[in-house]
């Protein structure tokens, strides 16, 4: 089982990279809880190369349209983001998103087009942009080149999240120490088909825009695109990365060894962020990791693994610590992939042990007490072995609990 502790991480989050400052503040977007931060800001001391990926939901929030337009202008200096209101399908949506950028730009001393914007929260309600505009000067004054600054920004983008999602790491590229850090939010309405709910990544690596976009797309595919909490793809999914080049490495302009090293470290950070989102699914008690081995192709393994982690019945079985492997085989069967079910083995595993429950598509007599003990752990692996080929894939999800309904039954009110 692969865990967060298996990786070498450093402190600092989005401020681990040279030249980045961040902060979070409560300005009044969230009115029901004044102790929770609801506006975050990340600023680079120098202009950055930037890349991003967005939701494939046809219904897209206003900040996505504005951020796409600003990315097309070239260099970027900052990201401003609020929680408590998605600014999606809302009156004056794009106008208010632009106002957020303008307020940040005025404080920073750059153009509004050099600011990217994101929002998360309730859909369809008018954003109280005046409290954001009024709060930006104070927020700018709180910016720090420190772990505390990243912590503030990480908390500012949380909605139903119970823990912040923040990781950073370092790697030697061309003899220079390069840092990559990220923060993310995501707990519910997660079934991304691009990236994540909200994820902001910073790096001091010198890398061209083309290579940065390639790297992000490559990493997103094998991290954020392989998690699911509830099968819902948000209107606001945004994953942005800013690279300011302050590590002074030779600029990466092609897919050479330096590019590979950069992608490997970026993948590690995004893997940790994605996994932490699945683990913090709304009301969840279990992180579910599903690995499919012996598939004909990676695509087949991914489709089947996603089908299993997205299965409501499988989620319910894991919640109940019930080794109901039939739910797993059933989810494999309706995935749309062709395979021989009589050559499938299924096992459950956790820190408490491992138990084979299905072999060659048939149920086995197994120790129910041991199975229950294994499934009682907060992190559970579903191990699927096929006989179709040599490819494999791992995806991450969570169980479904009574609390998920409670959280979403009155989310708006």
Catalytic entry in 49, 196, 235, 394: 196
Q: What is the pLDDT of residue 195?
A: 47
Q: What is the pLDDT of residue 8?
A: 87
Q: What is the pLDDT of residue 2?
A: 59
Q: Tokens 């967005």 identify what position?
A: 54
| Per-position b or e across 10-42, b if 16+ CB within 10 A of its CB | eebbbbbbbbbbbbbbbbbbbeeeeebbbbbbb
Q: What is the pLDDT of residue 234?
A: 78
What are the C-alpha distances in Å from 70 to residues 102, 112, 115, 201, 325?
12, 8, 7, 17, 49
Give the predicted TM-score (pTM) of the model: 0.91
CB-CB contact of 80 with 266 (8 Å)? no
Strands 379-385 and 287-295: parallel
Where do the structural domains in the chain lie, given as residue ranges?
4-279, 287-409
- CATH class, 4-279 region: alpha beta
pLDDT, one tens digit per residue, over 194-242 is: 444 799 999 999 999 999 999 999 999 999 989 887 666 778 889 999 9
Residues β-bridged to residue 354: 349
- Residue 206, token pair as written in the block: 């010198």
3-state helix, strand, coil in the chain (%, to 5): 35, 30, 35
- Residue 108, token pair as written in the block: 């920073």
What are the C-alpha distances in Å from 392 to residues 291, 314, 346?
7, 20, 14
Q: What is the pLDDT of residue 232?
A: 63
Our separate counts of H helices and E strands in the chain read: 11, 14
Task: Show the low-confidence residues of the chain (pLDDT under 70).
Answer: 1-6, 187-196, 230-232, 283, 407, 411-413
Q: What is the pLDDT of residue 180?
A: 98
pLDDT, one tens digit per residue, over 26-50 is: 999 998 877 899 999 999 999 999 9
Active-site residue flag, 196: yes
Q: What is the pLDDT of residue 281?
A: 72
Q: What is the pLDDT of residue 196?
A: 47
- Residue 321, token pair as written in the block: 């610590």
Cα–Cα dist 67/81, whole Å: 11
pLDDT, one tens digit per residue, over 304-338 is: 999 999 999 999 999 999 999 999 999 999 999 99
Contacting residues for 47 by C-beta, under 8 A, at least 6 apart:
75, 76, 77, 114, 244
Percent of the chain predicted with pLDDT > 90: 83
CATH code given to domain 287-409: 3.10.20.340
């Amino acid at each position: 089982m692969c865990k967060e502790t298996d990786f070498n991480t450093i402190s600092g989050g989005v401020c681990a990279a040279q030249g980045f400052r961040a902060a979070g503040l409560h300005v009044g977007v969230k009115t029901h809880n004044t102790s929770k931060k609801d506006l975050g800001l990340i600023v680079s001391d120098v202009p950055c190369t930037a890349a991003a990926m967005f939701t494939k939901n046809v219904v897209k929030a206003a900040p996505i349209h504005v951020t796409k337009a600003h990315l097309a202008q070239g260099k970027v200096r900052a990201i401003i983001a609020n929680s408590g209101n998605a600014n999606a399908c809302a009156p004056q949506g794009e106008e208010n998103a632009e106002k957020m950028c303008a307020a940040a730009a005025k404080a920073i001393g750059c153009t509004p087009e050099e600011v990217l914007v994101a929002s998360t929260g309730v859909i369809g309600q008018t954003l109280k942009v005046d409290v954001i505009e009024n709060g930006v000067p104070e927020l700018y004054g709180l910016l720090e080149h420190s772990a505390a600054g990243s912590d503030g920004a990480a908390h500012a983008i949380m909605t139903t999240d119970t823990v912040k999602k923040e990781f950073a790491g370092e790697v030697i590229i061309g003899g220079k120490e390069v840092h990559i850090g990220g923060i993310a939010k995501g707990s519910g309405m997660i079934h991304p088909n691009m990236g994540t709910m909200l994820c902001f990544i910073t790096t001091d690596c010198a890398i061209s825009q083309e290579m940065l976009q390639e790297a992000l797309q490559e990493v997103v595919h094998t991290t954020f695109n392989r998690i699911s909490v509830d099968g819902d793809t948000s209107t606001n999914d945004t994953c942005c990365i800013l690279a300011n080049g302050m590590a002074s490495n030779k600029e990466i302009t092609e897919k050479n060894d330096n590019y590979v090293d950069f992608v490997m470290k970026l993948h590690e950070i995004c893997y940790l962020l994605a996994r932490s989102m699945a683990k913090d699914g709304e009301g969840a008690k279990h992180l579910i990791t599903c690995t499919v081995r012996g598939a004909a192709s990676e695509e087949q393994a991914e489709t089947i693994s996603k089908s299993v982690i997205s299965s409501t019945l499988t989620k319910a079985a894991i919640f109940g610590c019930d080794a109901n492997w039939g739910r797993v085989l059933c989810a494999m069967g309706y995935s749309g992939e062709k395979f021989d079910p009589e050559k499938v083995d299924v096992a459950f595993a956790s820190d408490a042990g491992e138990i084979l429950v299905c072999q060659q598509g048939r149920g086995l007599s197994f120790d129910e007490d041991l199975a229950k003990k294994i499934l009682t752990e907060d992190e559970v692996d579903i191990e699927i072995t096929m006989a179709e080929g040599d490819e494999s894939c791992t995806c991450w999800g969570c169980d479904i609990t009574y609390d998920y309904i409670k959280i979403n039954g009155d989310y708006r009110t």
